[in-house]
Amino acid sequence: MVVETEKESININKLVATKKEFILVEGDMIVPDSKPDILNTICTSGMVCIYKKEVSTDKVKIDGNINAYIMYLSEDAQDRVRGINTSLDFSEGITVPNVQEGMECQLEATLSRMECKVINERKIGIKASLEVQMKIYSNEVVEMVNNIANADEIQMLKEDLMVNSLVGTGSTRIDAKETIAINNIDNLAEILKVNMDIGNKDIKMSYNKILTKAEANVKILYLTEDNRINSVHAKIPIVGFIDIPDVNESNICDVTYEIRNVILKPNPIEEHSIYIEIQVGVSSVVYEEKQIQMIQDFYSPCENLTCNKKQITTITGKQNRKEMKQIREKVRLDGIENQSMVDVDIVPNITKETALDSKMIYEGEIQLRFMFIDATLQISNKEATIPFEFVVDGLEGGENRNTNTRYEILNQDFIIQNGGEIATNIDMLMDIDSYQDTRLSVMDEIQSEGEREAQDYSIILYIVKKGDTLWNIAKEFGSTIDDIVRANGIEDPNVIMPGQKLFIPRYVKVSVSSRETPMISNA
């Protein structure tokens, strides 16, 4: 008999490798002739830009730069606080086993630490440590047998599964330009410090198209010509379209943003303003929830059938959740009397994630780095830490789920109170992506190897053992579940008990069977 099979396909976005790597970037900065000599550094800040990534055999190469800003204390009594900036280029090849050319790389690079050392009054040595998180994926279309067309004598055990099948991937580049206005009484002398991140992310999907919307949150500390320090905050829209065939609003979409380049400088045309240009790479991966019918097992009472199987891993139960964590705490700092708060850096850090049933428990801390200035323009830095715990409920997958959590600071407010206390009000958005890995045994071919050898017995008596199912019993003895149910008057085919006696009709010898079975001959 020729076995005629029917097939369906699913598209798998297979996670091939993950890698966490630390990259050390070093360089020297020469103080321009127009600026005074360096006495000490006050603080450093930097933005990481990744403008190229390339996957090859067992390697991922990334190219980028760090836009570094350094505030320093000068030897000039008139201009005590000054700022300089530079760009540190880097190119790094990272060994990642099992990756190949053509695979897709999702990458997040964060500046974990940057140190400056004054080499002499005109030269600073810089060491920056980057933490790079990589996930490399390959796309694979898998065909599986889901039905046998000529199945009159073939018994099939089927299962309906819900999986997340890949619809497609896409990317775009967005160039955003903006003029940021500063206070009208401020004549900008130089930029001292810059912090930037991408937040307020949202998507809208329609047929064949994804609208991505986000904002670049920019905080700039600057020096005025009359030696005052001030700051400005701005939100710059990052909006773009990604074309992916067959996308619709019912799909699930993951979007990642990468800052590729930043240009930031005093606006030479418009007074009291700063010009900024940002280039952002946006990538999306789109899934659909797809129900598939798999053949788990099969046999024929008349034919010896074999099949080819392969193991695949796909994902199920994919969810995107956004939850808000509000932090309302007081921190105490010594020695801040008669000082003004100039700047605060907020660095969230999740130290532990625990999956428990439908819950995800996060433990972490928020590091606060304060900058103060007094009436004599003396600057001091203070640090504080606020621990936190956060519980997210209603997640699928239990303890076997995978989670990827991102966070962003939506709102922040700090109020100096009496006695050196600071009231902190922070709203932190937790963006949680969760899913389960599911390993499937897929049949892609079924062949017949001839007829089974029939015996002289039409019925046997079988005693049920622990772990038996009607399917396994019927398959072993070349019967069918329906025939066993009819012969024994079974009400629920899913319920049989150890020790139960069953009459098994249509007995056919199975050469691989090792059961010792009492048999009843024809009456």
State both tokens at 203.
């998507």
**57: nearest Cα among 26, 102, 119, 12:** 102
pLDDT at position 286:
95
pLDDT tens digits, one per residue of 77-89: 666 889 999 999 9
Banded model confidence at residue 468, pLDDT cuts 50, 70, 90: very high
Banded model confidence at residue 3, pLDDT cuts 50, 70, 90: confident
Distance, CA of 265 to CA of 279 (rounded, Å): 15
The average pLDDT across 389-401 equals: 85
3-state secondary structure 13-39: EEEEEEEEEEEEEEEEEECCCCCCCEE
Other beta carbons less than 10 A from residue 148's beta carbon = 20
State yes or no: pLDDT of 287 exceeds 80.
yes
pLDDT at position 294:
87
Phi first, then psi: give them for residue 162, nearest 5 degrees.
Answer: -110, 120
pLDDT at position 520:
31
The mean pLDDT value of the chain amounts to 88
pLDDT at position 77:
62
DSSP labels, 84-144: EEEEEEEEEEEE-TT--TT-EEEEEEEEEEEEEEEEETTEEEEEEEEEEEEEEEEEEEEEE
Compute the residue count for the chain.
523
For the domain spanning 453-520, the CATH number is 3.10.350.10
Share of the chain above pLDDT 70, in %: 94
The average pLDDT across 343-354 equals: 91
pLDDT at position 512:
42
The average pLDDT across 35-45 equals: 90
Task: Please identify which residue in the block is written with the tokens 């969810």.
Answer: 319
pLDDT at position 507:
54
pLDDT tens digits, one per residue of 477-491: 888 899 999 999 999
Domain edges within the chain: 302-446, 453-520
CB 175 within 8 A of CB 279: yes
In sequence order, the 6+-apart residues with CB closer than 8 A to the CB of 487 are 459, 502, 503, 504, 505
pLDDT at position 357:
85
> Which of residues 329 and 477 earns the better pLDDT score?
329
pLDDT tens digits, one per residue of 425-466: 999 999 999 999 888 888 878 888 877 666 555 788 999 999
pLDDT at position 513:
42
Banded model confidence at residue 301, pLDDT cuts 50, 70, 90: confident
State yes or no: pLDDT of 510 exceeds 50.
no
Distance, CA of 328 to CA of 388 (rounded, Å): 10
pLDDT tens digits, one per residue of 111-126: 988 999 999 999 999 9
pLDDT at position 401:
86
- Among 63-67, 320-324, 393-397, the range with the most confident prediction by mean pLDDT is 63-67
CB 241 within 8 A of CB 211: yes
State both tokens at 329.
């705490």
The average pLDDT across 509-519 equals: 41
Q: From residue 380, how far is each of 37, 339, 358, 414, 416 by CA, in Å? A: 20, 9, 46, 17, 15
The average pLDDT across 190-217 equals: 93
- Specify which residues 406 forms β-bridges with: 431
pLDDT at position 300:
84
Share of the chain above pLDDT 90, in %: 60
> Which of residues 419 and 73 earns the better pLDDT score?
73
